[in-house]
Amino acid sequence: MRTPTFRRLAAGIATAAAAGLLLSACAGTSAPGASSSAAATPVDGGALTFALGNDPITLNPTATGSGNDTLYVERQLFDSLTEQDPKTGKIVPWLATKWEANADATQFTFTLRKGVTFSDGTPLTAAVVKANFDDIVANATKALNAITALPNYAGTTVVDDSTFTVSFSKPNGAFPQAASSVALGLLSPKSLEIPYDDRATGAGLSGTGPFVLKSYTKNTSVVLTKRDGYAWAPEDYTNRGAAHLDTVTFTIVPEAGVRTGSLSSKQVDAIGGVLPQDIAGLQAQNTPLVVRANPGIAFGLSTYIKEGSALADVSVRKALLTALDRNLIQQSALTPEFRVATSVLAANTPGAVDLSTQLGFDTKASEKLLDAAGWKKGSDGIREKDGTKLDLKLGYIANFNPNQSIIELIQQQLKAIGITVEVWTGTVPQYLAEASAGHFDLAYGNLSRADGDVLRTQFSSALPSNAAKGYTDPELQQDLTDQLATADQTKRAEIAQKANARIVDLAYYIPVVELTTVLGTAQNVHGIVLGADSRLGSLVDAYKTK
């Protein structure tokens, strides 16, 4: 069993950090949390072009966009109360200089950094923070990125301009870490006056970040300009002041091969979503890579437990656990930088536990379970019961290029034990609509977060986003509640391990592989970092040399 390493905050609140919160090791990659190279003296000025695979869809940090690419852009515009150091996992000050929790972790009192302003000139005050949190709750059905970070929110009390207390009706030991997320990035009062649906374009939105929005052309580009006077980057960055770069342009290039070619031909300065099969070629060209294993929920299959469906039977779900040859999937679709999943949680996440013995490839065990459940193979090799074929609908988002190959392998391996799989894919909004309506039997995906509370996000029946999944097991729900209810991070991780094991016991989730984030940069680009969640960090340190 993997036991995470823990450190305590100077503010007196503990935070978990797995010892594995480090980069994958491969030639030409960077050090933990840092870009692949660094010149002796940073250079001010210049324009950076960063190619993304997906349009962000929204520039409102509390709303759901296209996934990581959305967060890459939003992180440059909106700061958070806290920061999670990617090297240690420790929660460190950002817009808040200190904080403390009461004994049962239902109240957190923060002190704001002085002198912080939004790009529209409005000062950051405790009242503005309260307005932001209240706005999230008021738009809970739309603010899906943020509402899960505020479970049982009871309100925010303004003590003075710099001090406020966030209260919850039930303990929320994960809140200091959640406060570091882009989803809780703060908007100015004028931004909050804009109708929620109108915030997606970013027009009129003002944050406290090191860059401001110049333009957003859907499916083409997002152009940011340097904000003069910025002076409050968190302590895990070298540059605490204004960004070195004058402009950052995120250009949308859906084809991964085109992104790689554009980097090699110096048409762009950096790219996201490097394909596993392109890593070796880029290394051969001495292209610096920023590589970091993603914490959180590994890529896998969420099972939807609907009355009358085949997956309502735990035996059928358990058959899926041993039906997949994860090693073959990893070797066929990925590279050594991507691990085979041994748990619901990625190995570098607090609360991860090695459950590989339950995930071993054993088709005989799978077939035995299906036979005992009454699903018999027909003349065409497909199982049926009471005249119904064992046919499952699987939904996924094609925002990570290898997903298609992985899904095809899953189809083949499940067909080998007599299960047919109908595949659906679409845009993020389409996927979320289908998933929330319960139109899938299986949903393939992952969720990055450097905290075991990510399990609650995916498996708590109390969250509306999970309503269609049918995860009602009382023991699991209690575990998810209990891990949130303590500020003791060692105890939280232990409970998360228990919940992790329970999820696999019930086969609510079928882990497959772990995600690793790989960025490519030009040789004259420095200071691009990945955060603790393995998403693009602030570009305040980034610069270009001649």
pLDDT digits (tens, 9 = 90+) for 47-72: 999 999 999 999 999 998 878 999 99
Q: What is the pTM of this model?
A: 0.87
Contact 126, 161 (CB under 8 A): yes
Contact 503, 344 (CB under 8 A): yes
Walk me through the domains of the chain, giving residue ranges and CATH numbers.
47-292+518-544 (3.40.190.10), 297-514 (3.10.105.10)
Per DSSP, the three-state class of 389 is: strand
- Tokens, residue 273: 């979503």
pLDDT of 472 = 95
Helix ranges (H only) for 336-379 are 363-372
79, 176, 325, 538 from 16: Cα distances, Å: 22, 11, 32, 22
Distance CA(377)–CA(370), nearest Å, equals: 9
HSE at residue 255, side-chain half, CA atoms within 13 A, is 4
Distance CA(93)–CA(97), nearest Å, equals: 5
Contact 362, 304 (CB under 8 A): no
Task: Of 85, 63, 82, give the one whose Cα is nearest residue 74.
Answer: 63
Span between the terminal Cα atoms of the chain, in Å: 49
pLDDT digits (tens, 9 = 90+) for 173-187: 999 999 999 999 999
> Burial level of 318, CB count in 10 A (0-12/13-18/19+)?
buried
Helix ranges (H only) for 221-376 are 256-264, 279-284, 314-323, 326-333, 363-372
Distance CA(435)–CA(301), nearest Å, equals: 12
pLDDT of 34 = 40
Strands 47-52 and 270-271 turn out to be parallel
Per DSSP, the three-state class of 112 is: strand
Spans of the chain below 50 pLDDT: 1-36
Per DSSP, the three-state class of 205 is: coil
Distance CA(438)–CA(441), nearest Å, equals: 8
- Amino acid 243 reads A
